[in-house]
Amino acid sequence: MIEVECDVVVLGLGPGGEHAAIKLGRAGLEVVGVEDRLVGGECPYYGCVPSKMMIAAAHLVADVHRVKDFGGTATVQPDWGPVARRIRDEATDDWDDTAAVKRLVENGATFARGRGVLDGPGRVRVGDTTYVARKGVVLNTGTAPAAPPIDGLQGTPYWTNRDAVALTELPKSLIVLGGGPIGCEFAQVFARFGVRVTVVEVADRLVATEEPEASEVLTKAFEAEGIDVRAGVNVASVVHDDDQFTLDLGSDKVSAEKLLVAAGRKANLDFIGLDTVGLGDDLKVVETDERMRAGDKLWAVGDITGKGAFTHVSMYQSAIALRDILGEKGAPARYHAVPHTTFTDPEVGGVGMTEQQARDAGLSVRTGSTALEKSSRGFTHGPGGHGLIKVVEDTDRGVLVGGTAVGPAGGEILGFLAVAVHAEVPVDTLRTMIYAYPTFHRAIESALADLS
């Protein structure tokens, strides 16, 4: 066993870990980045980036179908070829991280390919080398697709997001198991490319962590596009035979050529030596303080912290951990205004608490909402201009604690609501603003006027 000293080891190079390793390298620290798959993690190779390329293409196809209602005729023959090529060539370099490794090294980090295991405070073992970090370890091991314990599922050739983004040909029919953000994004993409799609969701609605009104708008949009939405069902079993998947839903069965499981993620925390640093070895999340410290000589960032499985959370936490490592001052981590967007059409953007979460937290709550299609911009937009704005106010403090924006640019309208919730801008101040006519965000003024 070889021992190598350094300042910091970054174990797992997802978005936050990669960012930390690069910044620490640039700051002149001796940093070792450890990654056993692809530098950059799930987001650039299997998540955000390829899925958003798929979505951009699918939305264009849908817009062509809509043109007949606007001003003429156009036809489109959806072709997956350009989408698959773009993902392979522009997003993932054919799932090759050579460029990312080069960037890491050019910024002063040492790269170690392999599975890292914690071996006591500040120590990480990779193969026959133990890296001994003077300052400590940044843990960023992320998540992997999880499969629910459904009778018959294991052993079938079901897909996860990692298969879905690498497709070169599409099936005729697809069941998407899971109606959360990832499942919904994929479902709509494939449906818009002509695949017969059924979404099966155990919760009683799609995107169940969002406001119920948002789920309703999205479900209507899906059904209008011919997506079969089965929410509130229990899947008794999965059978795969004759090149077909069949899901037994109790009172009904659904079948399709392929099955995509998008039913949650599992933190990569098994067998990584958490017990050697004084943490339980069966953790689902790693608890951190407001400086991202998780223990002696240990920081944790990203999905494993359970504060929102989003790239922007990983990057946010990484910046905080960096400041702590470098001894710099800065704001501590706060999660009262975590924004998130499901990039369906309409997009579903949310920030802070839903109405139910605010009530469960014991706040005195008022809500206001408005349908986007009733706004001037939604009306003039025409087909596809539907959605909603909903705001949640803590009346004791007179500030918004949550907001939802569903619409063609829901994730962009969200920016306004995110500032309001993050900075705790008084509702009275928001009401004195001038909202440009006729923007989508002007509907926020109507939602605020509806607070009751």
Ligand X SMILES: Cc1cc2nc3c(=O)[nH]c(=O)nc-3n(C[C@H](O)[C@H](O)[C@H](O)COP(=O)(O)OP(=O)(O)OC[C@H]3O[C@@H](n4cnc5c(N)ncnc54)[C@H](O)[C@@H]3O)c2cc1C
- The residues binding ligand X (CB under 6 A) are 11-16, 34-38, 41-43, 46-48, 51, 115-116, 140-143, 161, 182, 268, 272, 302-304, 309-312, 314, 343
> Which of residues 378 and 403 has its CB atom nearest to ligand X in the complex?
403
Q: Is residue 264 within 8 Å of residue 148, measured between CB atoms? A: yes
Q: Is residue 451 within 8 Å of residue 427, measured between CB atoms? A: yes
Closest CA to 193 of 167, 215, 219: 167
Compute how many other C-beta atoms are within 10 angstroms of the C-beta atom of residue 347.
23
Compute how many other C-beta atoms are within 10 angstroms of the C-beta atom of residue 235.
22
Residue 421 CA to residue 431 CA, distance in Å, equals 14
> Which of residues 268 and 375 has its CB atom nearest to ligand X in the complex?
268
Task: Give the nearest distance from C-beta 124 to ligand X in angstroms.
Answer: 8
> Which of residues 271 and 437 has its CB atom nearest to ligand X in the complex?
271
Task: Give the nearest distance from C-beta 363 to ligand X in angstroms.
Answer: 27
Q: Is residue 29 within 8 Å of residue 292, measured between CB atoms? A: no
> Which of residues 140 and 246 has its CB atom nearest to ligand X in the complex?
140
> Which of residues 176 and 447 has its CB atom nearest to ligand X in the complex?
176
Beta pairing, strands 388-394 & 399-407: antiparallel
158: which strand partners? none
Q: Is residue 137 within 8 Å of residue 8, measured between CB atoms? A: yes
Q: DSSP character for 72? A: S
Question: What one-character-per-residue DSSP string does 407-431 give?
Answer: ETTHHHHHHHHHHHHHTT-BHHHHH
Task: Give the nearest distance from C-beta 438 to ligand X in angstroms.
Answer: 28
Q: Give me 294's structure tokens.
A: 């998780």
Q: Give me 355's structure tokens.
A: 């109405």
> Which of residues 303 and 394 has its CB atom nearest to ligand X in the complex?
303
Residue nearest to ligand X (CB): 142
Say if residue 365 is exposed, middle or buried (CB neighbours under 10 Å; 0-12, 13-18, 19+): buried
Closest CA to 233 of 211, 248, 217, 218: 248
Task: Give the nearest distance from C-beta 83 to ligand X in angstroms.
Answer: 15
Alpha carbon dihedral 303, 307, 308, 310, in 10-degree steps, equals -50
Task: Give the nearest distance from C-beta 118 to ligand X in angstroms.
Answer: 9
Residue 112 CA to residue 105 CA, distance in Å, equals 11
Task: Give the nearest distance from C-beta 275 to ligand X in angstroms.
Answer: 14
Residue 299 CA to residue 322 CA, distance in Å, equals 9
> Which of residues 19 and 377 has its CB atom nearest to ligand X in the complex?
19
Task: Give the nearest distance from C-beta 366 to ligand X in angstroms.
Answer: 30
> Which of residues 100 and 363 has its CB atom nearest to ligand X in the complex?
100
Q: Give me 159's structure tokens.
A: 């897909």
Q: Is residue 139 within 8 Å of residue 294, measured between CB atoms? A: yes
Task: Give the nearest distance from C-beta 33 to ligand X in angstroms.
Answer: 9
Task: Give the nearest distance from C-beta 298 to ligand X in angstroms.
Answer: 14
Q: Is residue 197 within 8 Å of residue 230, measured between CB atoms? A: no
> Which of residues 95 and 435 has its CB atom nearest to ligand X in the complex?
95
Task: Give the nearest distance from C-beta 398 to ligand X in angstroms.
Answer: 30
Q: Is residue 403 within 8 Å of residue 421, measured between CB atoms? A: yes
Residue 151 CA to residue 236 CA, distance in Å, equals 7
> Which of residues 16 and 350 has its CB atom nearest to ligand X in the complex?
16
> Which of residues 161 and 219 has its CB atom nearest to ligand X in the complex?
161
Task: Give the nearest distance from C-beta 145 to ligand X in angstroms.
Answer: 7
